Amino acid sequence: MSSVQAPEAILDPGLCLTLRPMRYPVFYDMFRDGIKNTWTVEEVDFQTDLTDLKQRLSPAEVHLIQRLVAFFATGDSIVSNNLVLNLYKHVNSPEARLYLSRQLFEEAVHVQFYLTLLDNYVTDPDERAAAFAAVENIPSISKKADFCMKWMDSIQELDHLTTRDHRRQFLLNLICFAACIEGLFFFAAFAYVYFLRSKGLLHGLAAGTNWVFRDESCHLEFAFEVVKVVRSQEPDLWDAELEREIVTMLHEAVDAETQFAEDLLSGGVAGLSVRDMRQYLGYVADQRLGRLGIAPAFHSKNPFSFMDLQDVQELTNFFERRVSAYQSAVQGEVGFHEDF
């Protein structure tokens, strides 16, 4: 039977139920802050988007949107699945499990948002079905899905993290979903949305994306905070080899996302090139590495001025709501990237 005693370390197997005294108030605060971010899909108005799609988008931009919608159709469901199957059972802190419950709700709202988007944008039932089948049929999307599934499967057989190797595998899964999937695949998708917004297009999609962006930024912060706790409790789990594995994983993610960009932009979208997109991906990947205290691997500058505002927004949200956690974070060994 699982132990209900407070565990030594957050990854020790068991079912800790003790909320007083509270051992990890940082996760409880994140849970409470998450509730303040509640939004509903019904608040998003897609009306002007429909006019844009019919009258203002070029055929190349329509192709971009079709591919993006096809990615969005299944992306958040994959993240939810990993959360339930691989994260919740191993993070042995009732405070952190509260946050994960909140995150699961937010992912469900994201799934509903993208479903509603698809229903609005794509009227033909066969085309809607094709969007959900994209993970198998469209090579640039199946490559990203395969990457997610590989990492999801990597710890699915593990019921208890009893060895050092298990715990490192757990860390890699957690970091993959935060840094590469939520933190890179989704951030690339946001960049396309904000590029179109900068041209005055698809304001409904951009409005909903603002909320998804804020939610995802919090999901990343939570995951990186778990990493920080694990590292402080079990410093020997983290070594140069693990860092190399993380860098390799990010390279793989950037490659998969670049292939997606080649497909999305294959019609030739004025003002957006695959080269710029790859540079942006390198910039984002270096941000994630920096957040983990790892040296940059891509050395890219952000080529997208239309994303500057988003970085400021991310920072503002972060500081408004996370001041105390940030202060304790800088004392630990995980560095906080100055450009974040």
Per CB under 5 A, the list member of 61, 182, 286, 314 interacting with Fe ion is: 182
Give yes or no for residue 221 binding Fe ion (CB under 5 A). no
Q: Are 269 and 60 in contact (CB under 8 A)?
A: yes
Give yes or no for residue 225 binding Fe ion (CB under 5 A). no
Per CB under 5 A, the list member of 110, 144, 197, 321 interacting with Fe ion is: 110
Give yes or no for residue 61 binding Fe ion (CB under 5 A). no
Active-site annotation holder among 99, 114, 194, 283: 114
What is the closest distance, in whole angstroms, from the C-beta atom of residue 68 to Fe ion in the complex? 14
Spell out, one character per residue from 135 to 174, where the chain touches Fe ion: x when CB under 5 A holds, - when not.
----------------------------------------
CA distance 59 to 43: 29
Give yes or no for residue 76 binding Fe ion (CB under 5 A). yes
User: What residues contact residue 104 under an 8 Å CB cut-off, 6+ apart?
Assistant: 80, 83, 84
What is the closest distance, in whole angstroms, from the C-beta atom of residue 208 to Fe ion in the complex? 12
Give yes or no for residue 107 binding Fe ion (CB under 5 A). yes
Structure tokens at 121: 């944008």
Length of the chain: 340
What is the closest distance, in whole angstroms, from the C-beta atom of residue 184 to Fe ion in the complex? 12
Give yes or no for residue 219 binding Fe ion (CB under 5 A). yes
Q: Other C-beta atoms within 10 Å of 295: how many?
A: 10
Structure tokens at 90: 């191993």
User: Directed axis angle between helix 240-264 and helix 274-291, to 10°?
Assistant: 150
Nearer to Fe ion, 4 or 108 (CB): 108
Which span sits near Fe ion by CB under 5 A: 49-57, 191-199, 214-222, 320-328? 214-222
CA distance 45 to 59: 23
Position of tokens 């001041």?
A: 323
Q: What angle do CA 110, 111, 114 make, to 5 degrees?
A: 85
Concerning whether 114 is annotated as a catalytic residue, the answer is yes
**How many chain residues bind Fe ion (CB under 5 A)?**
6
What is the closest distance, in whole angstroms, from the C-beta atom of residue 143 to Fe ion in the complex? 20
User: What residues contact residue 109 under an 8 Å CB cut-off, 6+ apart?
Assistant: 39, 40, 41, 215
Nearer to Fe ion, 107 or 221 (CB): 107
Which residues form the catalytic set? 114
List of residues contacting Fe ion (CB under 5 A): 76, 107, 110, 182, 216, 219
